[in-house]
Structure 1
């Protein structure tokens, strides 16, 4: 669920970055050469826009590549606005540096003996200075607008995903903490259902999340029709309760997610396998199989003979 939302948000950020870079680049061209603020060298004249169009793909690729290396498109997206602004500033600086280095190399190569191609284009330093300022603010502005738009929709109750967590133990609290980290994406933890805590008790997660009652109240909570996801965070000792919970949830149009008790699985030396698309938890598998059993037996005999 979080992965799907993150993928969509990454796609939205990539699109906004492309739009921001495109708009900044050609706005800067018009402002620099037709804005009548910065004088143009009469000997050189106004450079053809075709030359700048030819360089734009390089600018775009370097920008997006550096964003990827910075982790904008592959790691956790929750950063402060200051962090975002600082990283975008670094991105713009290194992009200009790399593009200038590439163009300088191509110009130098073109002046060599029998070059395969010729590049006789240098970007205006004033253009690059203006572009640096414009692209930093444009990308930062568009990213902030995306977050602002999402928050406004969620504040109006649109596209919210209301979550109930069955089990208020360590696993349940860990799930709640993870979901509250992404509350700006529309996740709302309505409460816990737990047999070992009293109704109304507040669990210390994100300022406090209430226990709505025992697990048997799940059906009545789902009857209200306000829940979209149910997380089952019970340990293996509560297997009957897990089955009963799944039976109840299957009656309603909600998504159910079972959180495995990883600690107990590790204690049991369990591992998850795939049986033609069907997940299987393997427990207490013999450590030696096949030829390894024969090797172990041979070593035992050899040691006993010695």
Structure 2
């Protein structure tokens, strides 16, 4: 069997990227200046373009090493690799253009530069995709395997084994288990690889068998043995992976943080905790809200007139909601219901054919026009354009006890629309499903996801059968 050599694979990736960069340069130069497809203009000699192409190639390789692009493993997802590749080449282009500016070499054709970058990035992504698919195909056929030994044949070890069998393209093969107490029952012996010894025999087994990774799936009571197990694995040159016995409490993609010089497992990876992401989202909110207010101002004026002509009471309805970090704020809406008598608490849940609605209010709620004043909440910083929908304090206190992970939604600013609402979860729908969507949004936020949710809301959310 072919034994994986990570260093060789990394060097192959680097060589492949450098070659693709140079080929993209020659193709872009030919398309721009020699093919006759585009209007020819006097240009710098080919040698100048080639020189900067080589410079760009070396800068891209250095940036790739800096961003750990070439430290990929078979566990790395292609989408993560593609995002990192975009980071590398965006940074490389910025550095090279800065260098060209310093040496006063700014006569490079912009069209050539655009074609070069497009060809370069698309070609590298395509080659990496083909290579990854080829390696996965080889692993499915039994080549390029890595061998795994699982310490612990309990629930944790068995669950890891079952999960591993679902991904044969990763090329991992379990050679067996080590466990001090368990022996397989008849039904289990056909399902799992054999228990080949006890944990104390680890060193002997590593010397006798070909093992690439040792996976610790031991209970917390075995914590005192970890130091010796890790020392044995490192002595034999074997990688050690630890599955925490409390992994069921962790989200799908926890990450290690650092606090006061100590490594910690952060159980909730929230992209908006990063200052740069928060600033980007806030800038997007301000620009989008100003644009929306300007565009919808005639609609808001007509709506205000309609409310005033069809029912008694104020045009704008203010309601207390719970927002970012559990802080309370007043959310603005166009009034769509009759004014409550003095002293009556606002704790009713809106349902279909709710008698509290006005006729005009029913139309506003069905078309979501009652939500337009919330763009002013966004400008004030109480809300975001996209985020989990805020709820009244009365229901927050109720749901925090009844719905698991309900309070996680308050880690980010609430939104006018959200991932749940864009997928039809509005009005009298499952709170549990909404929270699942909210948590997915919180853990996977990106500005592109916000734009996608806004587009889905425009096409699917304004007229919604669950909006009462």
- Sort the TM-score into its range (normalised by shorter chain): 0.5 to 0.7
Classify 1:105/1:83 alpha carbon distance in 2 versus 1 (closer, same or farther; 3 Å).
Answer: same
Unaligned stretches of 5+ residues in structure 1: 108-119, 204-208, 216-231, 280-306
8 Å contact from structure 1 (residues 103, 122) kept in 2: no
70-79 or 149-158: bigger deviation: 70-79
Unaligned stretches of 5+ residues in structure 2: 238-468
Q: CA deviation at 1:185?
A: 4.6
The 5-angstrom pairing of residues 202-213 of structure 1 reads 210-213=191-194
Q: CA deviation at 1:95?
A: 2.2
- What is the alpha-carbon distance in structure 2 between the residues aligned to residue 8 and residue 171 of structure 1? 34
- What is the alpha-carbon distance in structure 1 between the residues aligned to residue 162 and residue 55 of structure 2? 42
CA RMSD of aligned residues (A): 4.2
Q: CA deviation at 1:90?
A: 3.3
User: Residues 156-191 of structure 1, C-alpha deviation per residue, up to 9 Å, x if partnerless?
Assistant: 223334556464248956985997798545222255
Residue 196 (1) aligns with residue 193 (2): no
- What is the alpha-carbon distance in structure 1 between the residues aligned to residue 88 and residue 195 of structure 2? 52
Which contiguous aligned blocks of 4+ residues in structure 1 show a shift greater than 6 angstroms?
177-182
Alignment partner, residue 172 of structure 2? 187
Which structure is richer in relative contact order (CA contacts within 8 A, separation 6 or more)?
A: 1
**What secondary structure is seen at the aligned counterpart in 1 of 2:184?**
coil
Alignment partner, residue 444 of structure 2? none
The 5-angstrom pairing of residues 144-293 of structure 1 reads 144-161=129-146, 163=148, 165=150, 167-169=152-154, 184-189=169-174, 191-192=176-177, 194=179, 196-199=182-185, 210-215=191-196, 234-235=198-199, 239=200, 246=205, 250=208, 254-255=209-210, 263-265=223-225
> Which of 83, 103, 107 lines up with 1:106 in the alignment?
103
- What is the alpha-carbon distance in structure 2 between the residues aligned to residue 156 and residue 242 of structure 1? 29
Classify 1:168/1:33 alpha carbon distance in 2 versus 1 (closer, same or farther; 3 Å).
Answer: same
- What is the alpha-carbon distance in structure 2 between the residues aligned to residue 162 and residue 76 of structure 1? 15
Equivalent residues, number: 227
8 Å contact from structure 1 (residues 166, 193) kept in 2: yes
Alignment partner, residue 285 of structure 1? none
Give the TM-score normalised by structure 1.
Answer: 0.58
Alignment partner, residue 10 of structure 1? 10
